[in-house]
Structure 1
């Protein structure tokens, strides 16, 4: 496995076979530098792409792992990575080999290291956010405002919100998640239910 640094002292490319994974070192954690784009678990089982609202709803009700682009549109959603339902997080490991979905503790540790009062500002990208919501991207985490899929309804907060899964159970209704908003410098830890869709940012094991 070969590693080299470029652009930032904490931005690294890891080459594994034919796959290139950009990572960022933040404290003693190593995060993927982009949102996940995987259509399968590490064991090879498929994560199904939902092409419309009905398909997302039916597969989620059947507890099947699903991903989709924002608004089911590749041109709109591709810059932000895939949005996943809860079963794409809980039914297996969707991250590349050597990585996993972060726990709530992992997110809390990141936020504490970066700054509890300024985590969102420092993790958000320097462009792409509406309403003066851009961040400073101090750690090359480059969180993009890819919005959120709320329940079986529509998509919300495009260019205003970045939402990421953890794999830590909140209660029988869902998992903890991390939300970065255009209007806040702080990162928000929220419970997320079983019907919606969020992006995923993997952490090195």
Structure 2
């Protein structure tokens, strides 16, 4: 059964990107550049990301000039990018640009995922839109030993403890890995 998983890294104080929307702080952590397999969702068939995350990934690795770098992180998984703008596509990448609500995009996303999971890569507001629509099944957070002074918050929504069930807490290298199952909104 397809699950919708928000799986990301965060600083110890809850920022997923710094004030410049950069993840350079994460890549500076031992294991941050090439994460341990235990820090990535095992059954992700589709990736979903917002335009800020997408554009940062393209720029950071100069992917438009070196399209083979797309495969290093995304592999051959279809990727849905939520945006209201026209954005470039790396050669050979399976990208679908989506505007509008996550609920409206879900039939196409689920069809692309098949029986595999949907991985919301970032950002936090996009994950919050899935939560608002009642479509978020799991939040997996790899907490890095870094403190930032500001940036993009992990999940800019209020979510009470009655909706979260701790599924696991493990150490993976210098990261603390927390996985929470998200319960449906009470009727």
Structure 2 length normalisation: TM-score? Answer: 0.29
More helix by share: 2
Structure 1 length normalisation: TM-score? Answer: 0.27
